[in-house]
Amino acid sequence: MEEMNQSQQHQNSAIKPIIPIRFIVKLGGAAITCKNEFEKINEEALETVSLQLRQAMMSGSSSGKSLGMDWSKRPGISETPSVDEDFRDQPVFDSGSFIVVHGAGSFGHFQASRSGVHKGGLDQPLVKAGFVATRISVTSLNLEIVRALARECIPSVGMSPFSCGWSTRERNIVSADLSMVTKAIDSGFIPVLHGDAVLDASLDCTILSGDVIIRHIAEQLKPEFVVFLTDVSGVYDSPPTEPNAVLLKEIAVREDGSWFVVKPKLEDMNRQVQITVASHDTTGGMVTKISEAASIAKLGIDVYIVRAGTNDSLRALSGEIRGNTPEDWLGTVIRFVK
Amino acid sequence: MEEMNQSQQHQNSAIKPIIPIRFIVKLGGAAITCKNEFEKINEEALETVSLQLRQAMMSGSSSGKSLGMDWSKRPGISETPSVDEDFRDQPVFDSGSFIVVHGAGSFGHFQASRSGVHKGGLDQPLVKAGFVATRISVTSLNLEIVRALARECIPSVGMSPFSCGWSTRERNIVSADLSMVTKAIDSGFIPVLHGDAVLDASLDCTILSGDVIIRHIAEQLKPEFVVFLTDVSGVYDSPPTEPNAVLLKEIAVREDGSWFVVKPKLEDMNRQVQITVASHDTTGGMVTKISEAASIAKLGIDVYIVRAGTNDSLRALSGEIRGNTPEDWLGTVIRFVK
């Protein structure tokens, strides 16, 4: 209970950054990794996502060249990086900043599920080893995402929730000091967080998912909107691989957390909508996602779920979907209704 | 000034871990990287250091097999890691825990010096890009060190000073919350920190060296001793490459921070001792190192400077040098005298 109070203090003292946060973007694990290949990044998808984030932030301000901020060795590329000092074209974030949170995809899940880290029990050698192994895997992915963003001239800085002091009790966040996130933003950087293995006051340890992290940051720092980039076009009424699957274009969330489909008008309003996405998110899948998204929407913050690397995702990141959803936009909007 | 006070609060509220900290070990950049090759780890040296750390912590308790905690993909090794569930032989740290801090060596320095991150000025695009590039480079090295330790069954967790909220003013630490370091130790993990690019209240940003980090942790958490693993045998009276260079085996530090050589008894006591080590530490070199080591010794904590991967380093890490320095031990001891 003491820890709870301490956490409340932490949360209440969260200082909003001076630079407004335009959006939080979730890079879904399924969208940026090759889901069927162990610890394999989908380089092409990640590059497109990074480029779109740069485009979204530089709206109209530049068509200039992109000068990278990753000066490290890359496989197959000359060992001495050449650094061009002409950085005038880097994004200035005049329309606000953003925060990146990514999932694990084909990173981390093997290590976590093999050892049962999410169930806790650090006194068991296998769990402790799995905790270490999981963190190695997800921080490897974090580093590669920071590098991909930096190559697009986005001043990204990795922030690992475990080492930033995030912790849980019964899997609920009890401690999450956001002061470093806001300081990084006010210094002109883009924080990149991720789902992580963390300490848990009752279970010893557990897995804190990227979706839960996003909800927490959204509550504390109130971005204008939140974008979930995934590997399908949004939320469907049945598995999207099924021929009759219908994309739910707009979902409304009520004060009590319940939700209903606004668009399209479903023929049989009484049928049980079976929400699924082809997601390899073992930390909760779509049930967690919709519940986290609903919690965010309840704050009055629009949530967009959209396929990564499409014109639709670029429109969502650019804020074009805010207020009114264009008819030709493919994705799911989750909004609060009173 | 307000920030100073806040920092003091941080520092005063540092809670010591329940598990005692036996030692802090600095993995010198020159000892674990190939200094003349850009971003190249000295794999063999790092493996030996990791093995010695494991041996030092398991003194006499096991001759069993070492079961790794790095379950991630490695170049040239089968993609599906095989995980042996028999973890009974992992170190139990019955004699206390330890903290690892590493330097940068051939990582980070190029990025930092190319952009002048240590001089600050984040409003300059080149400095901001260099800040991002430096962090990418040093966190890459951190990840590889965490993995090397994990392969020796040391439950290592990376903790990046910038993302942990460490910051400076005029290059002096003003904020460094150690609560997560102590929590990690009490949960049975080994924190691995590193020299990093950090925010600075007066300069915008600077480089915080691993040596300064060690002094700060030593002050707050009072380990039994501190070991600097380097690529030479210790501190010499002149460059160790010179034929007449004399290894200073024992240095005494006075209350006022001044120091004198105890062993060997130098023939000409009045000659100016020219202290150097073949170190590629651009964050201050030997002047910083001796001054940081003296600050630590002044706390009553012995400091050992020794060549990595030798029998001498193993003896130092095992605590054999404490109290009385064996005649056949090669290295430098720095101790406080009243």
Q: What is the pLDDT of residue B78?
A: 58
Q: Retrieve residue A301's tokens.
A: 């913050």
Which residues in chain A are contacts of B39 at CB distance < 8 A? 72-73, 79
pLDDT at A7 over 70: no
| AA identity, residue B177 | D
Show which of residues 275-294 on chain B sit within 8 Å of chain A, judged by CB atoms: none
Say if residue A20 is preceded by a cis peptide, omega within 30 of 0: no
pLDDT at B324 over 90: no
Q: Is B323 annotated as a binding residue?
A: no
Instruction: Give me the residue spans of the domains in chain B.
Output: 2-66+99-336
Show which of residues 185-244 on chain A sit within 8 Å of chain B, judged by CB atoms: 187-189, 199, 204-205
- C-beta contacts of A243-252 below 8 A and 24+ residues apart: A247/A330, A247/A331, A247/A332, A248/A273, A248/A275, A248/A332, A249/A325, A249/A331, A249/A332, A249/A333, A250/A325, A250/A332, A250/A333, A250/A334, A250/A335, A251/A332, A251/A333, A251/A334, A251/A335, A252/A334, A252/A335, A252/A336, A252/A337
Angle at CA B99, nearest 5°, toward B174 and B215?
40
Q: What is the pLDDT of residue A283?
A: 41
Kindly state the average pLDDT of the residues A200-215. Answer: 95
CB within 8 Å: A71 and B137: yes
Could you report the per-residue pLDDT of B250-290, keeping only the tens digit for each? 999 998 888 888 988 866 544 444 444 333 334 445 556 67
More confident residue, B49 or B67: B49
Between CA A125 and CA A108 the distance in angstroms is: 18
CB within 8 Å: A180 and B160: no
pLDDT at B63 over 70: no
Coil/strand/helix, residue A261 = strand
Could you report the per-residue pLDDT of B165-195, keeping only the tens digit for each? 999 999 999 989 899 999 999 999 999 999 9
Q: What is the dihedral of CA B176, A217, B140, B130, to 10 degrees?
A: -80
Which residues in chain A are contacts of B126 at CB distance < 8 A? 85, 87
More confident residue, B318 or A35: B318
> Which of A111, A163, A177 lies at the smallest CB-CB distance from B158?
A163
> Which of B72, B80, B130 lies at the smallest CB-CB distance from A137?
B72
Q: Is A104 annotated as a binding residue?
A: yes
**Measured between CA atoms, how close is A259 to chain B, in angstroms?**
37
Question: How far lies A219's CA from each of A12, A63, A223, A226, in Å?
Answer: 11, 35, 9, 11
> Which of A79, A87, A125 lies at the smallest CB-CB distance from B125?
A87
CB within 8 Å: B69 and A129: yes
Using CA of residue B115, residue B117, residue B118, residue B120, what is the dihedral sign?
Answer: positive
Beta bridge partners of B194: B102
Which residues in chain A are contacts of B38 at CB distance < 8 A? 73, 79-80
pLDDT at A199 over 50: yes
Q: Retrieve residue A45's tokens.
A: 């998808």
- Residue B296 is inside which H or E element, if any? helix B285-297
Q: What is the pLDDT of residue A240?
A: 79
Q: What is the pLDDT of residue B67?
A: 59
Q: Is B285 annotated as a binding residue?
A: yes
> Does 3.40.1160.10 match the CATH number of domain A2-59+92-336?
yes
- State the ipTM, two decimals: 0.89
Q: What is the pLDDT of residue A205?
A: 97
Which residues in chain B are contacts of A183 at CB distance < 8 A? 165, 167, 199
Coil/strand/helix, residue B134 = helix
Coil/strand/helix, residue B4 = helix
Q: Is A284 annotated as a binding residue?
A: no
Q: What is the pLDDT of residue B3?
A: 41
Could you report the per-residue pLDDT of B125-177, keeping only the tens digit for each? 999 999 999 999 999 999 999 999 999 999 999 999 999 999 999 999 998 98
Between CA A226 and CA A230 the distance in angstroms is: 13
Cβ partners under 8 Å of residue A315, min gap 6: A321, A326, A329
Nearest CA in chain B to A166: B180
Between CA B36 and CA B39 the distance in angstroms is: 9
> Which of A87, A129, A180 lies at the smallest CB-CB distance from B163?
A180
Q: What percent of chain A has pLDDT over 70?
A: 81
Q: Retrieve residue A40's tokens.
A: 């394999």
CB within 8 Å: A87 and B165: no
Q: What is the pLDDT of residue A149?
A: 96
Could you report the per-residue pLDDT of A41-74, keeping only the tens digit for each? 999 999 999 999 999 887 644 444 445 899 898 8
CB within 8 Å: B163 and A158: yes
Angle between helices B43-57 and B125-151 (to 10 degrees): 60
A126–B contact, CB cutoff 8 A: yes
Q: What is the pLDDT of residue B198?
A: 97
Q: What is the pLDDT of residue B147?
A: 97
| AA identity, residue B298 | K
CB within 8 Å: B136 and A114: no
CATH superfamily ID and name for B2-66+99-336: Acetylglutamate kinase-like (3.40.1160.10)
Could you report the per-residue pLDDT of A241-289, keeping only the tens digit for each? 888 888 889 999 998 888 888 988 866 544 444 444 333 344 445 556 6
Beta bridge partners of B159: none
Q: What is the pLDDT of residue B152?
A: 92
Mean pLDDT of chain B: 84
